[in-house]
Amino acid sequence: MLNIHRSIYAALALVYALQFNAQTLNLDVSGEDKNKTAIIDSIGYSTSFYNYNGIESELNSLKYRLTRLGFIDTTIDSIIKQNDTLFKASLFLGNKINRIRIVYDSSFNAELLNFINHTKDENYFELDITELESALNQLNSKIAEQGDPFSTLQLINIYKLNPDLISAQLKIVNNQKRRIDKIIVKGYEKFPQSYIKRFMKLRTGKTFNLNEIKDKVELLEDLRFANKIKDPEVLFTQDSTTLYLYVEKKQTNNFDGYLGFGTNENTNKIEFDGYLDLRLINNLNFGETLNLFYKSDEIDQQTFRVDADLPYLFGSPVGLQVGLNIFRKDTTFSNAKQYAKINYQINARHRIGAGITSTNSTNLLDNDTSILNDYKSNYYTLNYNFTEPQFYDPLFPINFWFDLSYGFGDRENDMGNQSQTVFNLDTYKIFNLNPKNSVYTRFNGAILTSDDYLDNELFRFGGINSIRGFEENSLVANLYGVINTEYRYRLSNSIYVHSVLDAAYFENQITDTKEKLFGFGFGLGLLTNAGLFRLNYSSGKSENRQFRLSDSKVHVSLTAKF
């Protein structure tokens, strides 16, 4: 029985102890006068605590905040326990200091002061006391960017110059300056080293600057074949600095094709046309691109094109692009164009190039004419390309594209040599109005300048990748311009519908033709597991021809990534 009574007494004692410890302690803080108390109240502080340690910590925090505001003489005069739950604290604030003068010596780089708000003299600068902490942090950050990430700033020899101004001496505690000794890629170990050195411009031996490194790693978002997994990390040892980049490889190969059909005006029968477009990207882990394209048109035209783009040859900033393009028009003529171009990547988005293009054309008819015969041409070319990607959007991965080329040379045939120039411009832009609505605009055009022209050297355009509603490559010109517009509306993240409104102008000096064309229609896009499926219905008309439903074209395409 005695043990039972002892257990009851122990339990009651524990309950009373818990109730006592659970009591809330309150804090009331005042200054040396009403004005100083008002300042303390305006700053604000916690008033309820579970123990005395919390009160002490809050008072120290309050003192620190007052010091930052310029009350550098702030002290805790007293803490008096009024009763079991209330503590009254008295603080002495003193006069507020508004400005601080910081003296520096010749070892300090005064150009760093351009990053803070201050007034400056020969060997010191002044600033508002409330801006002191942020200014020192900014200066310390800039010093760290110069290769000393562990540097610290200290203020020593602090004293009052007058009631409104204090003076302090700036002391910089330097550590060993750091340079990048090694770069290691995690996740995609075979990531092309040339892209680290040339594309992101990260290389060993450079001064360590973490903010600059983070900015350069963000350039990975401009690559089709790789992206960043997480922010870079750094391992510091006593005598080395190792940078770790976290990258993953993306599937970027794609296969594109479409099937088109329409009614032949002469036979009233349905005719089919289509193309295959294969693009292989970074399969050898060099960032290379290989394109293979074949198209057969409904008017007995065949196009075959293959080209390779090899960036950063042997680790240099120079790349090589070579290609072959064969075009055959029924039994009329055949053109074979070869080209080679040296490219220089200025940065992640800008590229310039120079090269040479050679074309051999063969007349497949029995007899030559003044506008159709064999010829050879050679051009020297200059090119500029700008790309602004938005690879986060699988439906529309490129936001802005601009490609301009200029060529000059001569054409040689049985009738002699003819100097010629050629301009090509292809550009498009997506205006994102909001997450669901956007407007797509594109301009594509070319000009061939010559004293006379051959039919087998003129531009051929029209179709799904040109002015829609017309047969593929059915329009022939020495000068043309096409404007494509689409209003796009997203039904979801994987489905969108759009309008088709195209306009074109072209000239053909051989036939003395100048004509305006228009295309109207609508379409939809669907992102599936197999790829991007697109369906377009469009109809074209010219100034001299009425709109007819029988001229409408339906185009179906599928772009698959693998």
**In this structure, what token pair is assigned to residue 94?**
């003193």
Q: Which of 200-214, 313-327, 509-523 has the lowest mean pLDDT?
A: 200-214
Q: Match domain 2-92 to its CATH number in 3.30.930, 3.30.70, 3.10.20, 3.40.1130.
A: 3.10.20
The domains of the chain are located at 2-92, 99-173, 182-249, 254-561
Architecture of domain 99-173: Roll (3.10)
For residues 196, 200, 204, 209, the Cα torsion angle rounded to the nearest 10 degrees is: -140
Categorize the per-residue pLDDT at 200 as very low, low, confident or very high, splitting at 50, 70 and 90: very high
CA distance 553 to 263: 8
Ranked by mean pLDDT, the top range of 134-138, 373-377, 537-541 is 373-377
pLDDT at 347 over 70: yes
- DSSP 8-class letter at 219: G
- Taking CA atoms, 2 is separated from 7, 15, 78, in Å, by 9, 20, 49
- State the Cα–Cα distance between residues 210 and 235, nearest whole angstrom: 12
Q: Write down the mean pLDDT value for the chain.
A: 87
Q: Which conformational region is residue 222 in: left (phi greater than 0), alpha (psi within -120 to 50 degrees), or beta?
A: alpha
Percentage of the chain beyond pLDDT 90 is: 52
pLDDT at position 550: 63
What pLDDT sits at residue 560? 85
CATH of domain 254-561: 2.40.160.50
Angle value at C-alpha 323, between 318 and 329, nearest 5 degrees: 155
CATH code of the region 182-249: 3.10.20
Instruction: Answer yes or no: same fold for 2-92 and 254-561.
Output: no
Q: What is the pLDDT of residues 440-475, one digit of tens each?
A: 999 999 999 999 999 999 999 998 889 998 888 889
| Residue 192 contacts residue 312 (beta carbons within 8 Å) | yes
Q: Confidence class of residue 273 from pLDDT cuts 50, 70 and 90? A: low
Positive or negative, the CA dihedral 392, 394, 399, 403 is positive
Answer yes or no: is pLDDT of 375 > 90. yes
* pLDDT (0 to 100) of residue 261: 61
Among 3-12, 215-224, 270-279, 388-397, name the one with the lowest average pLDDT.
Answer: 3-12
Residues 390-425: tens digit of each pLDDT: 988 888 989 999 999 999 999 999 888 999 999 999
Cα–Cα distance, 370 to 109 (Å, whole number):
75
Q: What value does the mean pLDDT take over residues 514-521?
A: 93
CA 352 to CA 347: how far, in whole Å? 10
Q: What is the mean pLDDT of residues 86-90?
A: 92
Residue 285 CA to residue 308 CA, distance in Å, equals: 14
Predicted pLDDT at 424: 97
Mean predicted confidence (pLDDT) in 499-510: 96
Q: How confident is the model at residue 20 (pLDDT cuts 50, 70, 90)?
A: very low
Name the pTM for this structure. 0.73
Split at pLDDT 50, 70, 90, the class of 160 is confident
What average pLDDT score do residues 308-332 get? Answer: 93
Is pLDDT above 60 for 6? no
Q: How would residue 430 be classed by pLDDT, with cut points 50, 70 and 90?
A: very high
Name 295's bridge partners: 275, 303
Residue 427 to residues 123, 340, 499, 528: CA-CA distances in angstroms?
55, 22, 19, 27
Predicted confidence at residue 549, as pLDDT, reads: 66
Answer whether residue 271 shows pLDDT above 70. Answer: no
3-state secondary structure of 43: helix
